[in-house]
């Protein structure tokens, strides 16, 4: 009988330990897996959205650049209309446009019959007097309007895009057109704008026209080729902007963000390898496992102690069953029934261990809502706080701001100095705000401050204080920088969504930019604060 009791106790203790260990593993492994999947998807979604925003911004810049180039040609067309029979003046004007604009590799004037009357640079002037029959010229003569041509191969086998403006005399008679050509296989404005955006992690940009022809690619040999077998490029003419997970021509899975240049229909695609995007997750999960290992060891020791605690009352119950006829057995058994409390404690210990893991997962989720450069909240943090304010029906003011001429800082002093400017602005925002205020960086040099409970007047004062603080705080190597700010206010009873106030504040920021920068604009008619 003693041997039986000993065997029962040892078997039960082992069973409890094994069962507890299996339970812990069964719960922890799915938690680790779920954490990995959630964080992986967050990284993918963030990269896709970042690529989309980046492509949209470059598409807008390209569209603006083309518009400016056409405007320059339009001015030149007005000048040339009065000098069409003055060959030296025509040559001087084409040379002026070429020298003053970085957009063109050559500039020229073609009369209404299609004959070349003037061209720059000088090595091309032997062509003056020839009849121009390129597709771009025929298109310009036919359309007689401001035009960015479809890319075509010139007689010299250059892949060319021609920009043109028609020339009309005072009576509206068509006299020809002024044009500028962009040699896509040579140095051009697309190379200048996009060539610096190639990263060692495999990210890159490329541009295609409506006919799937590559206008820009990091590999110059591919410029001019037609993209085949790419579902995104096939559907691009019907889309304006968006994101896709695709495989590139090398079979690499990419995270692509895309946007269309409105005036030409060109597609700008920014993409990053999926493998590079999720690579940090492996180290992140490894760190979680390493940090959890000591806790797991402590948990195992606790489980072993609880197993002893569980087997001891059961042994006492068995001993009491053999001693039913002894005095005090009933009282002893009554006390042993506290075994249920011990079971509850074991369960509580397991839940405690799981709570530690969930707390760590929660910390990872908070990290996913934080901008790593400035330590401010990111767009997810902004959306979360806006949803809380709406649920609480709490009024708030929004201040949207960005650094004036930030691209110039990056281009002149480098991205390291630009990052320093962003971090300095974040610190100044913290110093000008309360702890309850929500400070976010939503992308690039764009920041948002949410001031719960603040009126538009208070928000304007805060914005002005921040503007002056930034203006008076020089940045090493750059000197003084400035910011432009837009202010708007949300009332819980207005019937509008909290997110709409951001659009109003952004519109006010745009007005501040248009009015000269380094100022605060309020999104209300007739009320504004200026520097």
Q: Model confidence over 245-284: pLDDT tens digits?
A: 888 777 788 888 889 988 888 888 888 888 877 777 777 7
pLDDT bin (cut points 50, 70, 90) of residue 344 is very low
Task: Please name the residue that has the structure tokens 């102690």.
Answer: 305
From 88, 511, 96, 11, select the one nearest 311 (Cα to Cα).
11
Q: What is the enclosing helix (H) or strand (E) of 179?
A: strand 174-183
Give the pLDDT of residue 110.
93
Are 260 and 142 found together in one domain? no
Q: What is the number of other CB atoms lying within 10 angstroms of the CB of residue 174?
A: 13
Give the pLDDT of residue 32.
66
Residue 374 maps to a domain: no
The answer to whether residue 479 scores a pLDDT higher than 90 is no
Q: Which domain holds residue 74?
A: 66-181
Given 336, 367, 398, the domain boundary residue is 367
% pLDDT > 70, the chain: 80
Residue 39 maps to a domain: yes
Are 333 and 249 found together in one domain? no
Residue 171: CA atoms inside 13 Å, Cβ hemisphere, count? 2
pLDDT bin (cut points 50, 70, 90) of residue 349 is very low
Give the pLDDT of residue 350.
36
- Which of 211-220, 384-393, 448-457 has the largest mean confidence? 448-457
Given 276, 292, 316, the domain boundary residue is 276
Given 219, 248, 276, the domain boundary residue is 276
Q: What is the number of other CB atoms lying within 10 angstroms of the CB of residue 433?
A: 19
Give the pLDDT of residue 234.
79
Are 101 and 240 found together in one domain? no
Q: What does pTM read for this prediction?
A: 0.50
Residue 98 maps to a domain: yes
Residue 337 maps to a domain: yes
The answer to whether residue 346 scores a pLDDT higher than 50 is no
Are 425 and 494 found together in one domain? yes
Residue 256 maps to a domain: yes
From 218, 281, 280, 210, select the one nearest 250 (Cα to Cα).
218
What DSSP state is assigned to residue 492? T
Are 35 and 163 found together in one domain? no
The answer to whether residue 119 scores a pLDDT higher than 70 is yes
Are 509 and 383 found together in one domain? yes
Three-state secondary structure call for residue 418? helix
Instruction: Tell me the C-alpha distance between 114 and 118, whole Å.
Output: 12
Are 392 and 522 found together in one domain? yes
Residue 206 maps to a domain: yes
Are 363 and 444 found together in one domain? no
Are 171 and 286 found together in one domain? no
* 94 within 8 A of 120, measured Cβ to Cβ: yes
Q: Model confidence over 367-424: pLDDT tens digits?
A: 778 888 888 988 888 888 999 888 888 999 999 999 999 999 898 899 899 999 999 9
Three-state secondary structure call for residue 104? coil
Token pair for residue 111? 């009369």
Which residues belong to the active site? Answer: 445
* 120 within 8 A of 98, measured Cβ to Cβ: yes
The answer to whether residue 356 scores a pLDDT higher than 80 is no
Are 387 and 518 found together in one domain? yes
User: Would you list the DSSP string of 58-72?
Assistant: HHHHHHHHHHHHHHH
Q: How many domains does the chain have?
A: 4
Instruction: Tell me the C-alpha distance between 508 and 515, whole Å.
Output: 10
Are 208 and 175 found together in one domain? no
* 373 within 8 A of 423, measured Cβ to Cβ: yes
What residues contact residue 63 under an 8 Å CB cut-off, 6+ apart?
261, 262, 263, 264
Residue 373 maps to a domain: no
Domain CATH number, residue 131:
3.30.450.20
Token pair for residue 368? 């996913």
Domain CATH number, residue 499:
3.30.70.270
Torsion angle of alpha carbons 141, 143, 146, 152, nearest 10°?
-70
433 vs 2, which has greater pLDDT?
A: 433
Q: Model confidence over 482-517: pLDDT tens digits?
A: 999 999 999 988 888 888 899 999 999 999 999 999
Are 420 and 453 found together in one domain? yes
Q: What is the number of other CB atoms lying within 10 angstroms of the CB of residue 66?
A: 22
Query: CA 114: distance to chain centroid?
Result: 47
Sign of CA dihedral 502, 503, 504, 510: positive
Residue 142 maps to a domain: yes
Instruction: Tell me the C-alpha distance between 263 and 64, whole Å.
Output: 9
């Amino acid at each position: 009988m003693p041997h039986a009791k000993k065997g029962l106790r040892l078997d039960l203790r082992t069973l409890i330990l094994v069962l507890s260990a299996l339970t812990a593993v069964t719960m922890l492994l799915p938690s680790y897996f779920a954490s990995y999947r959630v964080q992986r998807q967050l990284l993918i979604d963030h990269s896709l959205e970042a690529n989309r925003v980046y492509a949209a911004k470059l598409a807008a810049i390209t569209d603006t650049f083309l518009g400016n180039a056409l405007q320059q040609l339009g001015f030149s067309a007005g000048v040339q209309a009065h000098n069409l029979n003055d060959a030296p003046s025509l040559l001087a004007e084409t040379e002026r446009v070429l020298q003053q604009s970085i957009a063109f590799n050559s500039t020229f004037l073609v009369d209404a019959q299609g004959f070349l009357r003037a061209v720059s640079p000088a090595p091309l002037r032997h062509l003056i007097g020839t009849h121009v029959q390129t597709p771009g010229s025929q298109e310009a003569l036919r359309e007689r309007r401001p035009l960015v041509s479809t890319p075509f191969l010139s007689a010299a086998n250059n892949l060319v895009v021609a920009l043109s403006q028609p020339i009309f005399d005072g009576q509206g008679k068509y006299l020809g057109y002024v044009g500028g050509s962009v040699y896509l296989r040579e140095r051009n404005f697309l190379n200048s704008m996009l060539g610096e955006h190639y990263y060692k992690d495999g990210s890159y940009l490329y541009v295609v026209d409506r006919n799937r022809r590559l206008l820009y690619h990091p590999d110059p040999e591919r410029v001019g080729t037609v993209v085949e077998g790419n579902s995104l490029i096939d559907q691009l003419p019907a889309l304006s902007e968006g994101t896709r997970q695709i495989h590139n021509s090398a079979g690499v899975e990419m995270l692509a963000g895309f946007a269309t240049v409105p005036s030409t229909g060109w597609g700008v695609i920014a993409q990053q390898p999926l493998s590079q995007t999720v690579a940090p997750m492996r180290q992140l999960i490894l760190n979680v496992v390493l940090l959890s290992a000591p806790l797991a060891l402590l948990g195992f020791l606790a489980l072993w102690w609880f197993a002893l605690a569980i087997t001891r009352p059961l042994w006492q119950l068995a001993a009491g069953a053999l001693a039913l006829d002894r005095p005090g057995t009933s009282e002893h058994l009554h006390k042993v029934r506290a075994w249920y409390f011990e079971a509850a404690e074991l369960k509580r210990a397991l839940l405690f261990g799981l709570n530690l893991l969930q707390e760590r997962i929660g910390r990872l989720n908070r990290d996913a809502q934080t901008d790593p450069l400035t330590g401010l909240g990111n767009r997810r943090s902004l959306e979360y706080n806006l949803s809380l304010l709406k649920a609480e029906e709490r009024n708030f003011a929004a201040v949207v701001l960005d650094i004036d001429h930030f691209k110039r800082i990056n281009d002149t002093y480098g991205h390291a100095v630009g990052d320093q400017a962003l971090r300095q602005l974040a610190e100044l925002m913290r110093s000008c705000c309360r702890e309850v205020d929500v400070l976010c960086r939503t992308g690039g040099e764009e920041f948002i401050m949410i001031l719960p409970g603040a009126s538009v007047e208070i928000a304007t004062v805060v914005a002005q204080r921040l503007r002056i603080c930034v203006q008076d705080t020089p940045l090493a190597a750059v000197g003084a920088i400035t910011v432009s700010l837009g202010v708007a206010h949300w009332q819980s009873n207005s019937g509008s969504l909290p997110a709409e106030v951001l659009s109003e504040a952004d519109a006010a920021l745009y007005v501040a930019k248009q009015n000269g920068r380094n100022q605060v604009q309020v999104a209300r008619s007739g009320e504004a604060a200026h520097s």
